[in-house]
Amino acid sequence: MLEISVSFRSSLAAGGRYDRIIGEFINNGRDYPAAGISFGLDAIFQVLKQNGRVAEYRPLDFFIIPLGTLKESLKLAQELRRKSLRVEVDISGVSVKNSTPINH
């Protein structure tokens, strides 16, 4: 097991070899080559925040839901971003009717 920490009370990442755990899950007792890692996102965020590395929250100026083609929406988003506006484009493909809280 490998663990990396900083002067913070929680680990930022941990991981290691897990060769036996797969055999335990499938109940055959065999070893399978496996490795894993996890990241403590809350701890990482706190360290970044303490070091002034977290940008101040700024809400979106525009959220574009494509009614035509995605290409047109991305072009519009690019034009708005050139004007220093914060823009996101919905690329989920869900229709406007199905994405609203009240569907008729």
pLDDT, tens digit (0-9, with 9 covering 90-100), for 73-99: 999 999 999 999 999 999 988 777 776
66 with 40, same domain: the answer is no
- Amino acid 104: pLDDT: 45
Report the run of H or E that residue 41 belongs to, with start and end.
Answer: helix 41-50
16 with 41, same domain: the answer is yes
- Per-residue model confidence as pLDDT tens digits over 59-78: 999 999 998 889 999 999 99
Q: Catalogue the E-assigned strands of the chain.
A: 2-4, 13-17, 35-39, 62-64, 87-89
Mean predicted confidence (pLDDT) in 27-40: 93
Number of domains in the chain: 2
User: What domain range includes position 93?
Assistant: 62-99
55 in a domain, yes or no? no
Are 26 and 18 in contact by the 8 Å Cβ rule? The answer is: no
29 in a domain, yes or no? yes
Separation CA 65–CA 50 (nearest Å)? 36
At residue 34 the predicted structure's pLDDT band, cuts being 50, 70 and 90, is very high
41 with 66, same domain: the answer is no
Which region among 2-11, 12-21, 37-46, 90-99 has the lowest average model confidence (pLDDT)? 2-11
User: Is residue 101 predicted with pLDDT exceeding 60?
Assistant: no
81 in a domain, yes or no? yes
57 in a domain, yes or no? no
12 with 34, same domain: the answer is yes
